[in-house]
Amino acid sequence: MIEVDNLSAERSGQPVLRDVSLSVAPGAVTVLVGPSGGGKSTLLRCLTGLAEFSAGSVLIAGHRLDAGPQPVATLQAVRRDVGMVFQQFNLFPHLTALDNVMLAPRVVLGLLPVAARRRATDLLARVGLEEHAGKHPSQLSGGQQQRVAIARALAMQPKVMLFDEPTSSLDPAMTGEVLAVVAELARSGQTMVIVTHDHGFARRAATEVVQLAAGRVVARGAAGELL
């Protein structure tokens, strides 16, 4: 599902990723760990075309990304098939939870409002938020917001889901409710790459753990061996 081949990236002239190679099988869950500044976020951003890289290539969900600027059509095709969940949620504050989830299916996939609404309602139920569909992000707790963000990404029915520290800005109680959703996704066979500092979660959910430090893969293996 994902093949990263000798990927290198620079930011402001400094190398941030060096010769990173990575392979994720369909249905597998890869957890990225490593010290701050190691390049984990940058790698995820390269996978969904939000960041450019300078060498190597990425095969993801049947699309190919090469070094340098990529055609807009390729980027959009990749992003349609790859969902992303951010540490800061990045929900759209002017829309209700339901509208947050409905928006992309409507404008990107061209779904009719009834179809988009049905899909969004189902997803909100799946993350346990059906009663909060009409609320705005500002009326939801952090954990609820992150679950809406997950539902929003899932609404595009992505082949791959990327999570960048989804629980780092949450307190332990809320962390639990978000991780439960992620674990449920893993069980359902969703291919995922997750950046997290939560080793307990990594041990439970990861098919493979990859450790990044100073832009290089320094270790990889089963969660039990590495952590």
Partner 1 sequence: MSAVAWWKMSTGLALAVAACAGGAVAAELDEVRRRGELVWAADQEGGGPHVFPAPDDPRRLNGFEVELAGMIAERLGVKARFQQGAWDRLPLLLGGVADCVINGIESTPVRRRDYGCSRPYFAYALQIVARRDGALVTPEMLVAPGPRGPWQVGVLSASAAETEMRGRDPAAVFVRSFEGTLDSLEQVRGGVLDAAVLDDCIFTFYADRFPELRMVGRPFNGGVYTVLTARDTPALGAAIDEALGTLVADGSLEALYDRWDLGGRQQMLLIRDSADVAPAAVPEFRELLRRVVPTLLQGAAMTILLAVVSFPLAIVVGLVVAICRQYGPRWLDRTLSVYVEILRGTPLMLQLYAIFFLLPRVPLIGVQLPPLVSAVLGLALNYSAYESEIYRAGLKAVPLGQFEAALALGMSRLQALRHVVVPQAARIALPPVTSDFIAMFKDTSVCSVITVMELTKRYNILSLTTGRFFELAAVTAILYLMMSWPLALWVRRLERRLEPPGTGPAG
Q: Which residues in this chain contact ligand ATP in the complex, by CB under 6 A?
A: 11-12, 16, 34, 36-42
Whole-angstrom distance, CA of residue 154 vs CA of residue 191:
12
Q: Which is nearer to ligand ATP, 31 or 129 (CB)?
A: 31
What tokens appear for 54 in the block?
A: 């300078």
CA 145 to CA 169: how far, in whole Å? 11
Work out what residue 11 binds among partner 1, ligand ATP, Mg ion, none; the CB cut-off runs from 5 to 8 Å by kind: ligand ATP
- Closest CB to ligand ATP among residues 104, 217: 217
For Mg ion, which is the closer residue by CB, 41 or 211? 41
Contacting partner 1 (CB under 8 A), which of 113, 139, 204, 218? 139
Question: Hey, which residues between 89 and 128 contact partner 1 (CB under 8 A)?
Answer: 90-94, 103-104, 107-108
Phi-psi category of residue 113: left, alpha or beta, with phi > 0 → left and psi -120 to 50 → alpha = alpha
Residue 42 binding: pick among partner 1, ligand ATP, Mg ion, none (C-beta 5-8 Å cut-off by kind): ligand ATP
Does residue 14 bind partner 1 (CB under 8 A)? no
What is the CB neighbour count within 10 angstroms for residue 86?
A: 18
- Nearer of residues 135 and 199 to partner 1, judged by Cβ: 135
Stretch that binds partner 1, among 5-13, 22-30, 58-66, 83-91 (CB under 8 A): 83-91
Among the listed residues 172, 149, 17, 80, the one whose alpha carbon sits nearest the alpha carbon of residue 4: 17
Smallest separation, CB 60 to ligand ATP (Å): 18
Hey, what amino acid is at 125?
A
Q: Does position 42 bind Mg ion by CB under 5 A? A: no
- Which residues contribute to the site for partner 1 (CB under 8 A)? 48, 50, 72, 75-76, 79-80, 82-84, 86, 88, 90-94, 103-104, 107-108, 135-139, 152-153, 156
